[in-house]
Amino acid sequence: MSSKSLKLWWNTESIGKGNILSFLFGERDETIKAAKLTIDRMKEVNTLSMTKRELRFFAKDLESGKLGVKYSYHNFYTKLIRKLLDLGFLEKDVVVWDAKRQKTATVYQLKLQSIPERPPQAGFVKQAWQVAKGWNDLVQQ
């Protein structure tokens, strides 16, 4: 496969179709399902976040299989959460207002990437823009 056709395949098959999680986590189906569930749970709150306690109980539910996916507690933190933190798609220890408890709370929060509306012309910067755009589309849908 030539480099041009490889680039076109990469854009249309993974990022272009909104499948950013398979790009980030490869062909690990259980990890992708766990990531989707985590993101969906965080999107239920207008701050796009979960407290450390909520995240811990969510990880325990994943480990027991209550949410339809059986995913290890250890792998949840080391493979999924750590990767999202390292890539800058998730922030830790963000202070937000908790309306239920009427006080501030430190949370894990999904981070939207600040990117321009139009992509750069070419090269690595364009590929990085496509990944960030794919992430933003996933979080905002």
Of the candidates 107, 75, 77, the one whose C-alpha atom is nearest the C-alpha of residue 91 is: 107
Q: What is the mean pLDDT of residues 116-125?
A: 86
Q: Which residue has the tokens 């995913």?
A: 71
pLDDT tens string 4-25: 445 545 555 667 566 888 888 8
35-45: buried (b, 16+ CB within 10 Å) or exposed (e) per residue?
A: bebbbebbeeb
The pLDDT of residue 101 is above 50: yes
Element (H, E) at 133: helix 124-140
Return the pLDDT at 14.
64
Of the candidates 87, 88, 101, 89, the one whose C-alpha atom is nearest the C-alpha of residue 51 is: 101
pLDDT band at 1 (very low <50, low <70, confident <90, very high): very low
Return the pLDDT at 17.
62
pLDDT tens string 63-80: 999 999 999 999 999 999
